[in-house]
């Protein structure tokens, strides 16, 4: 049987107002140690259109800093699962991340967006109606039912969750191997 695959820690900070949740990183992303690391995954191009800032040309750590500066955080619904290959349809024995524990640490959060159907189905059950959610077409190259332009039109709805962040200036990421302000497991909930 395949070994369990484990996702990445969340990329968030106290100013995160939109949290984008995928299902579980694919093999190319896991090998690269990066969210959306497959070269044909459209995530970074889609987000360039949403936040109107260059991402694809930046180093990975600078991409994360730029997303955070625009109020966007990343994580996955699934913490661990068995899955041969990278297709969501092959996911077996998923164990969910504690989404509500993370959400409770994000005071500015207004919207949770699900990148793809699997993330939406599993994550929607975990979150319920506690926070506004948005289902997005998958940025994965395996999801070819929509063109890039159609995906970009759907992803543009993320701007509503970021509306007031466009009125504030955003710092440009530091060139080089900068680290985002916070990457790690959410703090345990206090009684």
Per-residue pLDDT at 95? 82
Residue 141 lies in a domain: yes
Q: Structural domain of residue 10, as residue ranges? A: 4-164
Q: Please answer whether residues 22 and 117 qualify as being in contact, where contact means their C-beta atoms are separated by less than 8 angstroms.
A: no
Enclosing H/E stretch for 96: strand 92-96
Residue 69 lies in a domain: yes
Task: Report how far residue 97's alpha carbon sits from residue 183's, in angstroms, rounded to the nearest whole number.
Answer: 15
Residue 21 lies in a domain: yes
CATH number at residue 108: 3.40.470.10
Residue 158 lies in a domain: yes
Residue 149 lies in a domain: yes
Q: What is the DSSP string of 102-134?
A: HHTT-TT--EEEEESHHHHHHHHHHHTTSSEEE
Q: Please answer whether residues 9 and 185 qualify as being in contact, where contact means their C-beta atoms are separated by less than 8 angstroms.
A: yes
How do residues 75-112 score in pLDDT, each as one tens digit? Answer: 999 887 877 766 666 567 778 899 999 999 999 999 99
Query: Structural domain tally of the chain?
Result: 1
pTM of the predicted model as reported, rounded to 2 decimal places:
0.83
Catalytic residue IDs: 41
**Cα–Cα nearest to 143, from 76, 46, 19, 6:** 46
Residue 17 lies in a domain: yes
Residue 184 lies in a domain: no
How do residues 137-164 score in pLDDT, each as one tens digit? Answer: 999 987 778 999 999 999 999 998 887 6
Task: Report how far residue 144's alpha carbon sits from residue 146's, in angstroms, rounded to the nearest whole number.
Answer: 5
Q: For the chain, what is the mean pLDDT?
A: 83
Residue 168 confidence class, pLDDT cut points 50, 70, 90: very low
Read off the DSSP letter of residue 84: S
Residue 60 lies in a domain: yes
Residues 6+ apart with CB under 8 A from 188: 101
């Amino acid at each position: 049987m395949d070994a369990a695959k484990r996702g990445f820690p969340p990329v968030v900070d106290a100013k995160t107002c939109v949290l984008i949740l995928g299902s579980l990183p694919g093999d190319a992303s896991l090998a690269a140690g990066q969210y959306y690391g497959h070269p044909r995954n459209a995530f970074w191009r889609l987000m360039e259109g949403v936040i109107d800032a260059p991402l694809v040309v930046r180093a990975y750590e600078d991409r994360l800093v730029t997303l955070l500066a625009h109020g966007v955080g990343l994580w996955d619904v699934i913490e661990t699962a068995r899955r041969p290959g990278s297709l969501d349809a092959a996911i077996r024995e998923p164990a969910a991340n504690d989404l509500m524990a993370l959400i409770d640490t994000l005071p500015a959060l207004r919207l949770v967006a699900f990148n793809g159907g699997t993330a939406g189905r599993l994550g929607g059950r975990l979150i319920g109606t506690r926070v506004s959610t948005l289902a997005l077409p998958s940025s994965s190259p395996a999801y070819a039912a929509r063109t890039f332009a159609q995906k970009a039109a759907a992803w543009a709805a993320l701007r509503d969750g970021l509306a007031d962040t466009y009125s504030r200036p955003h710092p440009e990421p530091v060139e080089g191997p900068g680290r985002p302000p916070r990457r790690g497991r959410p703090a345990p909930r206090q009684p």
